[in-house]
Structure 1
Amino acid sequence: MPSINHKNKYSISTIEILSIALESLWSNKLRTGLTMLGMIIGIASVIGITSVGQGVQKSTEEQIKSLGSDVLQVLAGEAKGGNISQGQGSSSTLTWEDAKSIANQVTAADAVSAYLQSRVQVVYEDENASTTVYGSDLDFPETRNTFPETGRYFNQAELDESQQVVVLAPTVKNKLFPEYINPVGEKIRIQGEIYQVVGVMEKKGSQGPMDRDDAVYIPLTTMSARIVGNNSLFGISINGIYVKYASEEQSSAAEFQITNLLRSRHNIQSPEDDDFRVTNQADILETLATVTGLLTTMIGAIAGISLVVGGIGIANIMLVSVVERTREIGIRKALGATDSAILNQFLVEAVVISTVGGVIGIVTGTAIAFIISTLAQFPFIISPTSVIIAFTLSTGVGLLAGVIPARNASKLDPITALRSD
Structure 2
Amino acid sequence: MTKNFSRVKSYRTVSVWEILSMAIEALWRNKLRTGLTMLGVIIGISSVIAITSVGQGVQKGVEQQIQALGTDVLQVMAGAARSGNISQGLGSTSTLTWEDAQAIAQQAPSAQVVSAYLQQTAQVVYGSENTSTTIYGTDLNYPEARNTHPQEGRFFNQEELDTAKQVAVLGPTVQRTLFKGEVDAIGKKIRIRGEAYEVIGVMEPKGSQGPRDRDDQVFIPLTSMSARLVGNNALTGVSVNGILIKGSNQQQLEAAQFQVSNILRLRHNIYSPEADDFRITNQADIVSTFTNVVGLFTIMVVAIAGISLLVGGIGIANIMLVSVVERTREIGIRKAVGATYSAILNQFLAEAVVISTMGGGIGMGTGIVIAAAAATVFKFPFVVSFVSIIVGFGLSFMVGLLAGVIPARNAAKLDPIAALRSE
**Which is worse superposed, 177-186 or 74-83?**
74-83
Q: 1:412 aligns with which of 411, 414, 423?
A: 414
Match of 1:217, SS? strand
**Which is worse superposed, 8-17 or 253-262?**
8-17
Question: Is 1:159 aligned to 2:161, yes or no?
Answer: yes
Match of 2:325, SS? helix
Answer whether contact 1:9 1:335 (CA < 8 A) is retained: no
CA distances 1:106-152 after superposition (whole Å, capped 9, x unpaired):
11011111000001000111111000000010001110001000000
**Which is worse superposed, 34-43 or 234-243?**
34-43
Q: How does 1:377-392 map to 2 (within 5 A)?
A: 377-392=379-394
**Superposition TM-score, scaled by structure 1 size:** 0.96
CA distances 1:16-48 after superposition (whole Å, capped 9, x unpaired):
322221111111111111111221111111111
Moved over 6 A (4+): none
Q: Taking every aligned residue pair, what percent have the same amino acid on both sides?
A: 67
User: Which residue is equivalent to 1:107?
Assistant: 109
Q: How does 1:161-176 map to 2 (within 5 A)?
A: 161-176=163-178
CA distances 1:319-359 after superposition (whole Å, capped 9, x unpaired):
11111111111111122212221111100100111111111
Answer whether contact 1:127 1:176 (CA < 8 A) is retained: yes
**Which is worse superposed, 374-383 or 99-108?**
374-383
Match of 1:344, SS? helix
Answer whether contact 1:9 1:338 (CA < 8 A) is retained: no
Count matched residues: 414
User: Which residue is equivalent to 1:3?
Assistant: none
Question: Is 1:193 aligned to 2:187, yes or no?
Answer: no
Q: 2:82 aligns with which of 69, 80, 83?
A: 80
Cα-Cα RMSD: 1.4
**Superposition TM-score, scaled by structure 2 size:** 0.95
Query: Structure 2: which amino acid aligns with 1:195?
Result: Y
Q: 2:230 aligns with which of 219, 223, 228?
A: 228
Answer whether contact 2:140 2:158 (CA < 8 A) is retained: yes
2:72 and 2:373 mapped to 1: Cα distance?
Answer: 34
User: Which residue is equivalent to 2:5?
Assistant: none
Alpha-carbon shift at residue 9 of structure 1 (Å):
8.3
Answer whether contact 2:11 2:343 (CA < 8 A) is retained: no
1:215 and 1:392 mapped to 2: Cα distance?
Answer: 49
User: Which residue is equivalent to 2:372?
Assistant: 370
**Which is worse superposed, 211-220 or 263-272?**
263-272
Answer whether contact 1:78 1:86 (CA < 8 A) is retained: yes
Query: Structure 1: which amino acid aligns with 2:287?
Result: L
Answer whether contact 1:186 1:197 (CA < 8 A) is retained: yes
Q: How does 1:252-291 map to 2 (within 5 A)?
A: 252-270=254-272, 272-291=274-293
User: Which residue is equivalent to 2:362?
Assistant: 360
Structure 1 alignment gaps of length 5 or more: 1-7
> CA, structure 1 residues 62+353, in 2 after alignment: closer, same or farther (shift >3 Å)?
same
CA distances 1:57-110 after superposition (whole Å, capped 9, x unpaired):
000000001011100011111223464433221110111100000111111011
Alpha-carbon shift at residue 157 of structure 1 (Å):
1.0
User: Which residue is equivalent to 1:24?
Assistant: 26
Query: Structure 2: which amino acid aligns with 1:355?
Result: T
Match of 2:380, SS? coil
2:183 and 2:11 mapped to 1: Cα distance?
Answer: 86
Q: How does 1:30-69 map to 2 (within 5 A)?
A: 30-69=32-71
Query: Structure 2: which amino acid aligns with 1:177?
Result: F
